Amino acid sequence: MTPGCGDEAFLAAGGPARHVPVLRDEVIAALAPREGGLYLDATFGAGGYSRTLLAMPQLRVLALDRDPIAIAGGASLVNEAQGRLCLVKERFGRLDQVARERGLSDFDGVVLDIGISSMQIDDAGRGFSFRGDGPLDMRMDCEGTSAADLVNAAGETTLANIFYYFGEERASRRIAHAIVMDRAKAPFTSTAALASLIARVAPGRPNEVHPATRVFQALRIAVNDELAELVHALVAAEAILKQGGRLAVVTFHSLEDRIVKQFFAERSGRGRTPSRRLPHEIEPPEPTFLLNGKQPVTPSPSEIDANPRARSAKLRHGVRTKALPRGLDARLMALAKLPQDHPGGH
């Protein structure tokens, strides 16, 4: 497996630059933070949500991030918070376990900002983007199987399915076949080499996104098991929120949003028609969330002008009821996994 990641010079320069997270004001409004409350920022990043929450007197935050660079960059905010911020290197899918290990429960709010951060995209050494050449890595936690490991070892059908289902790439089979042919001559180690192959075998049209965009998204999701982590995080948030606690989730593409939308629909009973049931029918479980207002919430035109990366963001949110948490849903998890049949695409 590929060792290491990141750039020591990046850390030496002071870590991640501060930035305003997408839909910050809308997320804070959905969370409705209260003085002295307990909140969980499950995707710390550059600390934008945590910093805003900590402006509320006596409020405490447990924050997670799987990226060691984000953890190192958050040290100054931990010091500023004077004991009100606990920052932990961990995947957000384990947020309930992290809370239990620290004796915390009955949270007033949980926020999840899903996907890749601007810091990760802009650092060529992380291998998330093909705008600048770098190692084909993409590991958020700098551990385990890298994108290069996957591209150079996975079977052609597996690669095609990853590209088609996680990247919605129509030319998935053609790209996967070309990768398998080319890697027999020399392994793929750089983002530029992979992007060049994709542009050669599946060139895009003028004024469209780069033809490698969807494949890079798919590889990132596969390497970091992002969709399964999201499912686990939603279920975990349901378990640790108190009655009246609030869950806010920001997503950036349709695969993530589909999972969040279905989770809230099932947990709120939205779409269920009230009717009398037959004697043998099982009564549906009580809703665990109430949904307020028109959803999803999307960025304003001014925010998109200031930050074009915000254009695809969607916020969904809910308020926890007194109903018992339902636990992991197999139907929801099915949305996060690859099908085990023939490869998709062309």
**pLDDT, position 141:** 86
Place of tokens 């033809």: 211
- For residue 21, pLDDT beyond 80: yes
Exposure string for 99-128, b = 16+ CB within 10 A, e = fewer = beeeebeebbbbbbbbbbbbbbeebbbbbb
Quote helix, strand, coil % in the chain, to nearest 5.
Answer: 45, 15, 45
Burial class of residue 158 in the structure, from the number of CB atoms within 10 Å of its CB (0-12 exposed, 13-18 middle, 19+ buried): middle
Average pLDDT (194-222) is 90
Among the CATH numbers 3.40.50.150, 3.30.420.40, 3.40.50.1970, 3.40.50.80, which is that of 8-118+227-271+278-334? 3.40.50.150
User: Domain 127-225 carries which CATH code?
Assistant: 1.10.150.170
**pLDDT, position 9:** 29
Task: Give residue 222's pLDDT band: very low, low, confident or very high (50, 70, 90).
Answer: very high
The pTM (predicted TM-score) of the whole model is: 0.88
pLDDT tens-digit series, residues 118-142: 555 555 456 566 667 789 999 988 8
Average pLDDT (235-258) is 97
**pLDDT, position 284:** 80
- Say if residues 255 and 166 touch (Cβ distance below 8 Å): yes
Exposure string for 254-292, b = 16+ CB within 10 A, e = fewer = ebbbebbbbbbebbbbeeeeeeeeeeeeeeeeebbbbbe
CA distance 204 to 220: 21
pLDDT tens-digit series, residues 7-16: 332 222 223 3
- For residue 19, pLDDT beyond 70: no
**pLDDT, position 270:** 79
Of the given ranges (87-91, 96-100, 139-143), which has the lowest mean pLDDT? 139-143
Percent of the chain topping pLDDT 90 = 74
* Residue partners of 73: CB distance under 8 A and separation at least 6: 11, 14, 15, 16, 46, 47, 119
CA distance 105 to 95: 11
pLDDT tens-digit series, residues 151-203: 999 999 999 999 999 999 999 999 999 999 999 999 999 999 999 999 999 98
pLDDT tens-digit series, residues 270-304: 766 555 556 666 778 899 999 999 999 999 999 99
Strands (E) in the chain, as ranges, are: 38-41, 60-65, 85-89, 107-113, 241-251, 289-290, 314-320
Instruction: Give the pair of three-digit tokens for residue 22.
Output: 């997408």
Closest CA to 249 of 225, 224, 272, 267: 267
**What are the residue ranges spanned by the domains of the chain?**
8-118+227-271+278-334, 127-225
**pLDDT, position 300:** 95
- Say if residues 178 and 203 touch (Cβ distance below 8 Å): no
